Every structure is written in C-alpha cells, then in structure tokens.
C-alpha cells in the first residue's frame, strides 16, 4: 500500500510596494542631482583671481621717428650707377661713394675666385634677420627693400674685394664727411615743429632704395649723408603718459633692434593739439643711421604693490560720516553702529541702530555703503541731542574690488598707484583694503554686493 507524499507548503512571495522609503530616498537624491546639475550648467560662473604682490611688466613701446642732419647728393650727369661705399659706413669728405657711366652700360665687378668670408656671411645674415624680426604682413612692399638691401650688400662685398673704382671715371665723391645712406623718404628736411601724428602711421610710410636703380638722370638723388652725430627720436604721447613724464628730464629706453639700453635727455614738445616725446642723442648714430623709424621701449621706474586685473575694478557710492557720530565696535575695526532716525510714511520718526561695514576711515570720517541710508535720514550722536542729516554732498565715490574670501562678494577699497591697459598695482597697506593672497572677482560686472559666490 503506497504512502501518500507529504504535501509541500507553498508560500506566496511577498511583493514590496514600489513606493517605499528606499525608492523615495533614491528619487529625492536623483532629483536633487538633476536640479544641481541643471543649475550648475545654467548658472553664470564667477572666476576668482588670487591677489599677489608685483609690478606691472611691459613698458611703453613706440615706433620712434628719428631726425638727423641730412644732405642729399644728386647726380651731375645721367648714366648707369656703380656704388662702392657700404650703407651706414662713415666716409670722409672727398671719398668716392659711387661712379656714373655716361654710356649707360653696366661695368660689372670682377668675380674671379669670389667667395664669402665669415664676416661677409654674417653681414648678409644680419640683413635678413632684421627683416624677419620686424616683418609685418601689412607692409609687403618692404620685401622689395630687402631685395635691394641684399643686392646692395653683395655689391658692397664685391666692390670691397676689387679696387677697380680707383680707375673708374666720373667718380661721385662725398661733399662732406658723414654716414652714407641709400634710402630717401621725404623726411630729409623735416623739422621738429613740422611733426604730426599722421607721420607715425607705418602703413603710409614709403622710402625709396637708391641702390635698386640701375641708372640715374642728372639732378636725381644718388645718395645722402648724415653729417652730424647729434640726432633725436620723437614718439607720440597721450594725456596719461604726458602727465607721467611731465617732470622727466632724463629717460631710460631700449632699442628693440639690438636690445641696447641708453639714458638720454628728454623733453615734451607740442605741435598744435599733438604732443610728442623727444629724446636727444649725441652718439651711437652709426648703429641706427639707416633706419628712419626705430622701435623703442621706455624703461620706467615701476611701483610695486598688489597686482590686480583692471576688469576687477568697480565704482561704488558711499556716505561720509564724522567719527564722533559713530559707535565703534570694540571687537573689530571693520564694523560700526549708527543711531539712525528715519521717517515713516505717516511722517512719524523712527529711531533704530544699524550696523554698517567700514569701507574706509580717513580724515576723521567713516565711509559706509550709501544703500544703508536714505537721503534725509538723521544720524544721532549717542548720549547727545546732536544730529546730522544725510545729504548727497556727503556722498563719495570709491574704486574697489569684490573680495570673495568668505564665499560672498564684499567691496574693498583700492588706491591705484600704477597701471597699464590690463593690470593695476594698488597700495597694500590699507587696513580696509586688500592683502596678498586674497581672492577677488576677476570680472566685477558679474556680481553685486554680498552676492553668494559658488
């Protein structure tokens, strides 16, 4: 007889409801993360800048116009020209500079066994290097000047190897001693009182290289001589730089062409509405005789302090409150208390104590945010019947930055002692101002006072 199998006890699986404490917590966290990510993606992000001590780098640079005592020598007859003197070299009166063949035929120099020495190769490299360093795509015509300069340099080297000019007829000699230059630009007779601001526009400057001419007509320029060692550099001044240099009698500057630094007498000249700086020199012309415009950098005595970007600076309005009407905080100099009497809409007087942040303390006056008070309010002296009325004439505008060390924007006054187009240097000894390693808002236009900064 078979035994019955024991019946298995089947338990029904307990199904938990979908909405329980676990899913609720997870959903809350997920929604929070989505909202936070959306807010982060759409929020305007504030960029911070760490304040450091320093000076402003990058002195003022200019394309300076050089004026010298120049004499243009013209041809006495027509024909092909052969030059012998190196450009920029100094020649004595009566020395042969070039010769003219009245038949018009070129007289080639002898090239037998010709080769470049190391010194000659260096001259060619310097010519090409100077062009490459100062190349500007907007002045492509200077490529032709380079070609003429290279051709001229090679011709000079060839002529130096050959003494044929001794036997050449129709020699053209230097009427005076001086530096030989083969470029003319119309500025040879320019005087100081004729200088205008338009002359410094490099796109309008044009010079002719006389060595590129194969022949010359009688009466046309052959070369020019710089006959005096004394010369001057001129550069345009704006109002700010003119004020900075107003009392300067000697100035230190650097030629960017060869990085040589000089100290020379300085003066400011005015032609009509234009102002120019003038640097007077009486030496070193041999280095720069061939250049009409020379890039220079003024080496100024820069002041040191806290260096901040110009974009961080903002203007704020403040009321000036005499210190006898202020209740001082014994724990900090950054806050004061004012006993303010204002008027309600029904005309009744309301007296309350207001805590104010101190933005400056000078000349026995405290400067507090203008938004804290209304024009017409009264500031009462503690334990006295004296009071003063808040008026616009007591308002002052300060320059400052937003300090964000505490996570929100706090205005801090600054005193600018030096600046350029991008940065300012401010004083570092102001108890109500900035200190090294403070964090400020890079762009002040992005925040408002006491705004929370993420």
Per-residue pLDDT of 82-104, as tens digits, reads: 888 888 889 999 888 888 887 65
Per-residue pLDDT of 390-439, as tens digits, reads: 888 888 888 899 999 988 888 888 888 888 778 889 988 777 788 889 99
The per-residue pLDDT for 156 is: 61
Is pLDDT of 166 > 50?
Answer: no
Is pLDDT of 9 > 70?
Answer: no
Q: How confident is the model at residue 137 (pLDDT cuts 50, 70, 90)?
A: low
More confident residue, 39 or 305: 305
More confident residue, 105 or 156: 156
* Separation CA 337–CA 357 (nearest Å): 9
Provide the residue count of the chain: 454
Domain boundaries, the chain: 70-106+115-226, 231-299, 307-446
The per-residue pLDDT for 113 is: 47
* Separation CA 160–CA 153 (nearest Å): 10
Say if strands 378-380 and 387-389 run parallel, antiparallel, or are unpaired: antiparallel
**Helix, strand, or coil here: 109?**
coil
Q: How confident is the model at residue 165 (pLDDT cuts 50, 70, 90)?
A: very low
The per-residue pLDDT for 449 is: 80
CB contact at 8 A, 90 and 177: yes
Where would I find the beta strands (DSSP E) of 164-291?
171-173, 178-181, 183-184, 208-209, 215-216, 221-226, 231-236, 250-255, 260-271, 274-281
| Mean pLDDT (the chain, rounded) | 83
User: What six digits make up the tokens of 179?
Assistant: 């530096």
The crossing angle, in degrees rounded to 10, of helices 118-133 and 142-161 is: 170
């Amino acid at each position: 007889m078979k035994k019955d199998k024991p019946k298995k006890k089947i338990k029904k699986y307990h199904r938990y409801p979908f909405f329980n404490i676990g899913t609720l917590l997870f959903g809350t966290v997920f929604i929070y993360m989505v909202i936070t990510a959306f807010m982060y993606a759409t929020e305007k992000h504030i960029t911070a800048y760490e304040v450091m001590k320093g000076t402003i780098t990058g002195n003022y640079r200019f394309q300076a116009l050089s004026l010298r005592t120049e004499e243009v020598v013209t041809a006495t007859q027509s024909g092909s020209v052969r030059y012998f003197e190196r450009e920029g070299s100094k020649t004595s009166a009566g020395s042969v500079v070039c010769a003219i063949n009245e038949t018009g035929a070129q007289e080639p120099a002898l090239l037998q066994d010709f080769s470049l020495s190391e010194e000659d190769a260096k001259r060619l490299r310097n010519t090409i290097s100077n062009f490459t360093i100062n190349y500007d795509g907007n002045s492509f015509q200077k490529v032709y000047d380079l070609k003429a300069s290279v051709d001229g340099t090679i011709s000079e080297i060839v002529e130096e190897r050959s003494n044929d000019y001794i036997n050449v007829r129709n020699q053209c000699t230097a009427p005076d001693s001086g530096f030989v230059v083969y470029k003319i630009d119309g500025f040879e007779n320019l005087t100081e009182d004729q200088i205008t601001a338009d002359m410094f526009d490099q796109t309008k400057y044009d010079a002719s290289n006389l060595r590129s001419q194969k022949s010359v007509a009688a009466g046309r320029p052959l070369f020019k001589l710089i006959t005096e060692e004394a010369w001057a550099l001129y550069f345009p001044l704006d109002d700010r730089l003119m004020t900075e240099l107003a009392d300067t009698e000697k100035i230190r500057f650097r030629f960017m062409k060869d990085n040589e630094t000089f100290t020379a007498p300085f003066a400011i000249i005015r032609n009509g509405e234009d102002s120019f700086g003038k640097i007077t020199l009486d030496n070193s012309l041999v280095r720069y005789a061939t250049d009409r415009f020379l890039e220079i950098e003024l080496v100024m005595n820069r002041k040191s302090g806290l260096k901040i970007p110009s974009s961080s600076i903002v203007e704020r309005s403040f009321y000036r409150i005499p210190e006898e009407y202020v209740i001082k905080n014994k724990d900090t100099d950054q806050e004061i208390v004012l006993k303010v009497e204002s008027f309600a809409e029904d005309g009744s007087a309301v007296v309350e104590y207001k805590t104010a942040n101190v933005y400056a303390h000078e000349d026995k006056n405290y400067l507090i945010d203008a938004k804290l008070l209304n024009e017409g309010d009264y500031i009462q002296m503690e334990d006295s019947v004296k009071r003063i009325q808040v008026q616009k004439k007591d308002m002052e505008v300060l320059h400052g930055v937003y300090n964000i060390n505490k996570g929100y924007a706090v205005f801090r006054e600054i005193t600018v002692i030096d600046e350029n187009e991008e940065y300012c240097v401010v004083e570092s000894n102001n108890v109500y101002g900035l200190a090294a390693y403070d964090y400020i808002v890079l762009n002040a236009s992005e925040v408002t006072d006491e705004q929370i900064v993420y």
